[in-house]
Amino acid sequence: MKKLALILLAFAASLPAQELDSHKLLNPGTDSWPTFNGDYSGRRYSTLAQINQTNVGSLTLAWAFQSRSQGSFTSMPLVVNGIMYATLPDQVFAIDARTGRQIWHFQRPSQGGGNRGVAMYKDRLIFTTPDAHVICISARDGKQIWQIQIADPAFKGFASMAPLVIRDHVLVAGSGDAADLPGFLLSLDPMTGQTQWRWDSEPKPGEPGSETWPQDSDVMSRGGGMLWLTGTYDPELNLTYWGTGNPHPVENSEARPGANLYTCSIVALNPDTGKLVWYFQPSPHDTHDWDTNMTPVLFDANFKGKPRKLLAQAGKEGLFFVLDRTNGKALVSAPLGDSDWYSGWDERGQPIPRKEAEPQPDGALVHSAITLWNAPSFDPQTGLFYVNERDWINVYYLTIPGKKAQGWAGRDFTVVGKPFLKALDYQTGKIKWSKEGTGRGGGSSGILTTAGHLLFTADTSGNLVALDPATGKTLWHTYPGAAMGSAPMTYELDGRQYVVTPVEGVIYAWALPAR
């Protein structure tokens, strides 16, 4: 055993100092945040407790990083070996995670858009661009190594997601909701950018799932289902979990009768082959642009007295599901808020959409809870799942009826909405506590929970807040000048815990006062 440790140590020492050791992806430790969600589980829970309920009131600014650039940070920064990697569209910044000082800056001409961050593979960073490219640069100095194109901007294809690295696979996908593009997930070789495998959101004719599309048209071949938010991974089961987007044409039901698999689904894929292992569909036959891309959060916990491998997701359709992640069977199906668009649950625990709630030529008034992409969090200490949600009222108009419809094919507007931060019991789906925000629409921010019995997020007035995750009581707050579009993250360096909040063009790092 000692000998093995020595060999391991020698191996580790032979790596150039700042590379990402692949073990770090499996066990990030408290000094790293090496993936979009901090770890493969997507829980956004940190075991750090230096900042806790007794001292959070004295939280202060450790440093601030000014991007000096137009554009908002909607990305999650990574932290690896003391260096932070943050993105704006077509830009990457390497920042000293101790001091906030810039190390290097990568920039290419940009058309704007959004970006959610980089993935790291050894000494490389990989990210996507508004013109649907995937770019690999050196983490050492930001020099470009390779780039490929994965979708056609002329068909409104773009890319914004942070890729997910699993061993020697870089999982990445494009987006685009306007021109009936088929959804896909690519696995790329991190050394060259070459495709290792491709999973399509839609089956081929005759394959399982194809029966959920019309047989007399080719709508299935361009049926949407974009994967635009980073998935999660269970190394033991060797399954990667992803949410897929809405089907196309977006707001026309008639052109695509059926459940439209595998759009608006949670899918479990084998990361080595791209083969589908199971699926669950939170919004069957979606007609409201309710992508279910939101993070499939993985945790192991007792369920009705038995230890289970679980997956929880709060989706844009406003529902909360807890699944057995070995097989996709639903254990809990529950609403996040007030919704009137479904009539009940089918035998799989999926909602049964009401025909009348589909977009109509004269407008359909639909009440629906909704949650956006901003990260939820699961806190194993409280056993609660936290999500920023809104009770929304929308009117959906069908403007291009008929089987030949394409593109968006409808119009919709939001009448009004009530924002909430909600804490859900994963065993029942019941809302343990709920905190109403200000405003009647409002932004949405991601959430972080920590072992310090703290929940960090931003309220709908833009205040950064630290709450008691058991009750929702506010323990610390400050106004950073704008709303946080991204989510908080945390790490510890040299015995000091930092909580980082990207807000528009500034990254703030909060910590206890330096001793």
Which sequence positions are flagged as catalytic? Answer: 289
Is residue 509 within a helix (H) or strand (E), and if so which, with residue range?
strand 506-511
Question: Which of 47, 54, 99, 194 contacts other proteins by CB under 8 A?
Answer: 99
Q: What minimum distance in Å lies between the beta carbon of 97 and other proteins?
A: 8
Q: What minimum distance in Å lies between the beta carbon of 140 and other proteins?
A: 5
The CA distance from 114 to 89, in Å, is 5
Q: Which of residues 327-366 bind other proteins (CB under 8 A)?
A: 338, 356, 361-365
Query: Which 8-state DSSP code applies to residue 465?
Result: E
By beta-carbon proximity to other proteins, the closer residue of 99 and 194 is: 99
What is the three-class DSSP state of 401? coil
By beta-carbon proximity to other proteins, the closer residue of 26 and 415 is: 415
Q: Are 315 and 284 in contact (CB under 8 A)?
A: no
Helix, strand and coil in the chain, % to nearest 5? 5, 40, 50
Question: Which of 393, 451, 482, 512 contacts other proteins by CB under 8 A?
Answer: 393
Q: What minimum distance in Å lies between the beta carbon of 288 and other proteins?
A: 11
The pairing of beta strand 144-149 with beta strand 164-166: unpaired
Q: Is 406 in the site for other proteins (CB under 8 A)?
A: yes
Q: Is 367 in the site for other proteins (CB under 8 A)?
A: yes
Question: Which of 224, 247, 410, 429 contacts other proteins by CB under 8 A?
Answer: 410
Question: Which of 202, 317, 379, 412 contacts other proteins by CB under 8 A?
Answer: 412
Q: Is 494 in the site for other proteins (CB under 8 A)?
A: yes
By beta-carbon proximity to other proteins, the closer residue of 4 and 514 is: 514
By beta-carbon proximity to other proteins, the closer residue of 363 and 383 is: 363
Record the tokens describing residue 39, joined without a space: 């770890």
Question: Which of 23, 275, 403, 404 contacts other proteins by CB under 8 A?
Answer: 404
Contacts of 455 (CB under 8 A, 6+ apart): 377, 379, 386, 447, 448, 449, 466, 467, 468, 469
Part in contact with other proteins (CB under 8 A); list of ranges 24-32, 260-268, 406-414, 444-452 = 406-414
The CA distance from 433 to 437, in Å, is 13
Q: Is 197 in the site for other proteins (CB under 8 A)?
A: no
Is residue 22 within a helix (H) or strand (E), and if so which, with residue range?
helix 22-26
CA separation, residue 262 to residues 145, 205, 207, 491 (Å)? 34, 13, 12, 36
Q: Report the alpha-carbon angle 95-100-106, nearest 5.
A: 25
| Tally of CA atoms within 13 A in the half-sphere of 80 that contains its CB | 30
Q: Is 461 in the site for other proteins (CB under 8 A)?
A: yes
The CA distance from 503 to 195, in Å, is 35
Question: Which of 18, 54, 66, 144 contacts other proteins by CB under 8 A?
Answer: 18
Q: What minimum distance in Å lies between the beta carbon of 145 and other proteins?
A: 14
What is the three-class DSSP state of 285? coil
CA separation, residue 82 to residues 18, 75, 287 (Å)? 8, 18, 45
Q: Is 145 in the site for other proteins (CB under 8 A)?
A: no
By beta-carbon proximity to other proteins, the closer residue of 129 and 463 is: 463
Closest among 100, 196, 207, 84 to 148, alpha carbons compared: 196
Question: Which of 146, 197, 345, 397 contacts other proteins by CB under 8 A?
Answer: 397
- The backbone torsions φ and ψ at residue 329, rounded to the nearest 5 degrees and listed phi first, read -75, 135
Part in contact with other proteins (CB under 8 A); list of ranges 158-166, 187-195, 277-285, 458-466 = 458-466
Q: Is 217 in the site for other proteins (CB under 8 A)?
A: no
Part in contact with other proteins (CB under 8 A); list of ranges 32-40, 185-193, 205-213, 396-404 = 396-404
Which spans of this chain sit near other proteins (rule: CB under 8 A)? Answer: 16-18, 82-83, 94, 96, 98-99, 101, 103, 109, 140-141, 152, 154-156, 177-180, 222, 338, 356, 361-365, 367, 391, 393, 395, 397, 399-400, 404, 406-408, 410-413, 415-416, 438, 440, 459, 461, 463, 465, 474, 477, 494, 514
